[in-house]
Chains A and B, each alone.
Chain A
């Protein structure tokens, strides 16, 4: 049932019944979902076959060879990487059937309404309120750093449902309809000139109780599933040598000898070594995961990635000299995709500043490594037994 041969057979059946060349892209993706070949480790009827996750590669290879369209995963990363695993684990049967298929095909884009202006590193202190009214919850508050909010149909949302208990206990997890009239999305322009992210203002947004994920007050626990899956997605990358930020600067160095100085040479060689070792560390982590021996190393990968991106792009701007004084374009745009190594050196330098903030600041991640990996004492927790409404803010 779950052998590679069986996967190949099913994939060929799908291709025979829906030849990619003569099938509408969306029709093909829906048929693939219904055949259980979307994500084979998901249950039957929900786009999967309950097969080992590793067999997905067999399916993907067959489909790629046949020139089948994919679901453009980069465009729907939040849905695939964060919303879907959470819905799968905590959703009701009805919720799973309603949301997962259009999520996977990309018909419905998802975004994440977690961070707030007053709740960044201390996410659990969030203040967006959800008040029960009959079968609905009425939501008021402000969210921030929301990518894809302007194109999203749905959002995963955490909001405070009980201000009278300590912060972790009074949160509930919802699915929010982004087309509700109380949802206002405003672009949030960042230092690069563009607006990759949004602010989302929620004013008397009515969410039916049927769109709650998990129990009332269990939202923090549910959100852990979402956030853990974010880290898995970051740790799974595989790069060739010079595959990251070190690539463009190394090419510039080779192609433009007139820019070289001795000082820059020493710094470039040092960063090249660090980038190569970081790549090997990521590869080692990947091999550990494949071998079924996941280690705590993943916690450190993002730390190294952020620092290296910043130092390398900073060096690159300097290397370019007079050109480094220029910037390609400050025009305000709302890009759908983000490419850290895209555009010019100035953009890379500015965008990489966010790498040590997004997805957990370097300072918080160092605490996590110190406490969970090294077992050092936790930071003092003065808010642990205090009702949320009594916290300093």
Chain B
């Protein structure tokens, strides 16, 4: 067996967490996030600028020589935990992790530096539900231009550049100004999807699509577990806080044993999720056992985050059903996350091969 993964947070990682949490407290309070979902600007440009430009966090996964911060998946995971806690509508996972990983797989490119600095936002033009190793739609490369329709591309509406896989096996960079990007009405209001139509759009060849997409989706799936940890943690903490305060039958609702047990079970799930998420982040950093670690994390994380959000809704009672209360943002994100980068079932299926537990 390989060396034990480092499952803790370093002091630097804790300092990073505190800084991101402070920033999000200023930029992404719940009423603001709710109001934004029905505005014309579904992405929070200001928060993104502060994260990417102000703190340099869009470049964590990019080596310093290519214009990034030269940090690792461990730090990116901490950022994602905090973004999950705030259901922040910023394209961090899609641009700074998934699109960036795809570019890293293609080798050095000036686009890497632009994404790393946050000056431009990238999106991998693969439907959000596709699992690592899963089939994805490609566009036609014909006469030096790209043609086709893609759907379910997360954060495409915020992107400046799309990374598009084509039928010749190449991955192409396409400026969104050359494409038609149409927002889709999405379950998750804070990470909206869009369709992309390419009608003879010029594309610049970056490299082979297959390994780039696989690497990008694996990192996306593995680090999504940290976002799901943040979602689950917020919903648990907020529900516990509310149930200590809310009184019915002349006592705090949180004193009823049936509810105490449910919350204790949820706490246990979150404790386990933390270990799984840290393990995935560490494995993506070291490259040791990364496929298995990301698969285990995603097979475990999605049901926990959904359970946490569903419990939050139920245990808040009527107030949790209102548009005004933020619980629905977490439920919608958690449910969408349970499909993003492959369902838990898809990851279990992959595990059958990785752990040698073959189907009948």
Contact = CB atoms under 8 A, between A and B. Distances in A.
A269 B359 CA distance: 10
B357 interface: yes
B351 A261 contact: no
Q: How large is the interface on A (under 10, 10 to 19, 20 to 34, 35 or more residues)?
A: 35 or more
B257 interface: yes
Interface string B245-276: 00000011011010011011101100111111
Interface in A106-161: none
Interface stretch (A31-39, A211-219, A277-285): A277-285
Given A269-B352, A369-B264, A284 B8 contact: yes
Given A370-B263, A376-B263, 7 more contacts: A262-B360, A265-B359, A277-B273, A280-B7, A283-B275, A287-B8, A374-B260
A269 B267 CA distance: 23
A254 interface: yes
A241 interface: yes
B254 A377 contact: yes
Given A280-B276, A375-B244, A266 B260 contact: no
Contacts of B267: 300, 369, 373-374
Contacts of A281: 271-272, 274-275
7 contacts: A257-B360, A265-B360, A273-B296, A273-B299, A280-B276, A297-B271, A367-B257
Contacts of A268: 357
B279 interface: yes
A287 B263 contact: no
Contacts of B265: 366
A376 B255 contact: yes
A227 B3 CA distance: 33
Q: Which 5 A-B pairs have the closest CB atoms?
A: A377-B255, A370-B260, A260-B360, A369-B264, A284-B7
Interface string A261-304: 11001101110111011101101100110010100010010011
A363 B260 CA distance: 10
Contacts of A377: 244, 251-252, 254-255
A240 interface: yes
A250 interface: yes
A252 to B, nearest CB: 11
Interface string B2-19: 001111100000000000
Interface centre among A262, A272, A274, A284 (most CB of B within 10 A): A284
B291 to A, nearest CB: 13
Nearest to A270: B348
A323 to B, nearest CB: 18
Contacts of A358: none
